Structures are given as C-alpha cells and as structure tokens.
Amino acid sequence: MGFLSKLFKGPEVDQEKSAANARKMRLLFNQAVENGDDYQLIFGYTEDVSWFNYGFVHGSKTKIGNLIVGWNEAGETIVAVPTVPDLSGCGDPVWYRRSEILKAYRNKYPTDAFIIYPDRKSYIGINAYDWLDDEKLYVYVSQEAELAAFTDFFMNRFAKK
C-alpha cells in the first residue's frame, strides 16, 4: 500500500479488540435476554433527540445511547439492550415484535437509521455502522456481515408502514 492510499484510508480495525467486544456483547445480551442465543447481534446506538427542532436550532447537545441490538428472524422480533461503550454493564431489554408495532422503516435522512414506532407516542431510531472509532461514545466492534444481515432482515421481514 502506498503512502497516499494509507493517508486517505481510515484507521484500521483492531480485529482482536473487535472480537473481544463482540464476545462481551453476546455475554451481556444473554444475561439480559432469555434464550439470547436465538438472536443475532449488532451494536447500534440511538440519539436522544427530544425537542429535536428546538435543540437543533438552539445548539443543545444530543445524548448518545449505546445499544446491543438482537434480532430473531423466526419470531420477527428485535430486542434493544442499552449498554455503555466499555461494555461494563447493561440495562433492561426492550422488545419490538413486528405483530405489535405500529410501523417500522429505514430513514436515510438526516442519518441512516432504522426507525421503529411501537405506538403513536414514541419511537426509537437505531443507527448502526460497520464500526465507529470514537471509543468514548461507541462500542468498538467491526460488524460488516452482521449489519448486512440485520439490514436484510429489517427491510424484508420487519419493516411495515
């Protein structure tokens, strides 16, 4: 690889650290969710955008929430488990069953997010990328194949208007 291609390529993924974090995600998810091994996993994050337009115009800071996102194709279910960037613990899981949600779709703007409306009063926007290198804000994990599988599941088996 030449100097210029190194200069313009993003930082390399530390596969060992990524694999260790994927194992931690699995352990936490399985502790929080009964039959956790029945779910495939990705890391996702959500942004607290309450009062979004006001905050956007007036410069308030967005809060990032890290999520371990599991999905089960047979049950058409997504489970979001809140966690922290160092994976030292997690909160209570929230289930989204396709049969029980109002709507779900992929929103491309302003960010590429998977949006789920469980009812008319609330929603969750799950952002997910192959990996993010800011370890203070996000879990460090490479997940290209997993993200492709989740996107396929979401778009073809879970999304509904």
Asked if residue 17 is part of any domain, the answer here is yes
DSSP β-bridge partners for residue 114: 106, 126
Asked if residue 154 is part of any domain, the answer here is yes
7-40 pLDDT, tens digit each: 444 568 899 999 999 999 999 999 999 999 999 9
> Using alpha carbons only, what angle is made at residue 69 by residues 127 and 9, rounded to the nearest 5 degrees?
50
Asked if residue 5 is part of any domain, the answer here is no
Confidence of residue 47 (pLDDT cuts 50, 70, 90): confident
For 61, the domain range is: 10-158
Cα torsion 52, 55, 57, 62 to 10°: value is: -90
Asked if residue 1 is part of any domain, the answer here is no
Q: How many domains does the chain have?
A: 1
What per-residue confidence (pLDDT) applies to 132? 84
pLDDT at 139 over 90: yes
Q: For position 106, which CATH number holds?
A: 2.30.29
Asked if residue 2 is part of any domain, the answer here is no
pLDDT at 62 over 80: no
In degrees and rounded to multiples of 5, residue 84 shows phi and psi of: -125, 160
Asked if residue 3 is part of any domain, the answer here is no
Asked if residue 147 is part of any domain, the answer here is yes
Asked if residue 4 is part of any domain, the answer here is no
- The separation between CA 153 and the C-alpha centre of its own chain, rounded to angstroms, equals 14
CA 99/CA 76 separation, integer angstroms = 8
What per-residue confidence (pLDDT) applies to 51? 44
